Amino acid sequence: ELGARGAGLVVLRLAGVAAGVWLLINAYFVVSQPAAWLKGIALPLIQGAVLHGQGLMGVSLYLTDGSDRLDWYGYASLLLLAGMLALFVLFVRRLGPAATVLPWLAFWLATRSQDGYYLMMTPLWVAAAVTAPASEFAGAWQPFPARLAGPRRRPVRVAAAVLLLAPALASAALAATGSPPLRLEVTSARHGVRTLSRLTLRVTNTDADALTPHFTLTRGQGMYPYFSVLRGPDTLPAHATATYELRPPGGTYALPKPGERIRLRVFTSSPQTLSSTYVTLPTA
């Protein structure tokens, strides 16, 4: 309705307001601690956070013993985001009402895919569903109108969708089908009547890269803090074996109840890997 120039001005005005609010919120931190602020902004991309959530990463976290290709979940998330953006541009008349939902689909392939990411956006999705019906996008500009609206439009659209989404699916498959790089064996456990105070492991690195392991025990979906390494190398060379003596956070770890399953998980951040195995501990 506004024409290309008018529509462009509206977009620029909205972008300017968003940028101004963002700068207003961040100005104090940028000026007072620029290095810390920049690191904090980049942290989601560089921290190598452990797997957590309800997305596809659950294959490596819950269904298998881990993967040596966890980084590919992140690549898959970015590729899906790029693919969805391209599909949105190509088929904006059809996908326009879903504009606020599509970007969030990328989290389903990410290493961190908590349900909170979706719940906090629900009000926006409801508002968009009410205020942006499909009729509002009926006359929106789309590229390649002749090819996408011709007599062979269905196979062309399907081919475009497959081509744009296939890289993300391939990356996710690589991540999910990886194998755990560390072979784990509990050799001894020091414990009292109700608590564990020391855990000794024999760890073999079957990977081609040196790995810096971080150890924890988990029950169900929760993630317990890392155990302290009292003895053992910080970095385990490729194809090497070492003994690690671990101490629980706070000095003790509650022993499991009879029938309760405990899983030993070992994470590394560079490259991102996970090695897991069920362990048998004395029961309380």
Domain check: are 62 and 153 in the same one?
yes
State how many domains the chain has.
3
Of 176, 202, 231, the position where a domain reaches its end is 176
* Pairing mode of beta strands 112-113, 52-53: parallel
Q: What is the DSSP letter of 179?
A: -
Q: Which domain holds residue 67?
A: 51-176
Cα-trace Rg, the chain: 25
Residue 34: what pLDDT?
92
Domain check: are 201 and 268 in the same one?
yes
Domain check: are 147 and 191 in the same one?
no
Per residue in 133-155, pLDDT (tens digit) is 888 888 887 787 766 666 777 88
Q: Give a yes or no: residue 16 inside a domain.
A: yes
What does the alpha-carbon distance between residue 206 and residue 64 come to, in Å, rounded to a whole number? 17
What does the alpha-carbon distance between residue 223 and residue 257 come to, in Å, rounded to a whole number? 18
Domain check: are 129 and 189 in the same one?
no
Q: Give a yes or no: residue 86 inside a domain.
A: yes
Residue 7: what pLDDT?
75
pTM of the model: 0.83
Residue 40: what pLDDT?
87
Mean pLDDT by groups of 10 residues along the chain of 284 residues: 75 93 93 91 75 90 94 94 93 89 90 85 88 85 72 81 95 96 95 91 96 93 89 96 96 89 93 93 76
Residue 263: what pLDDT?
94
Residue 51: what pLDDT?
86
Residue 238: what pLDDT?
95
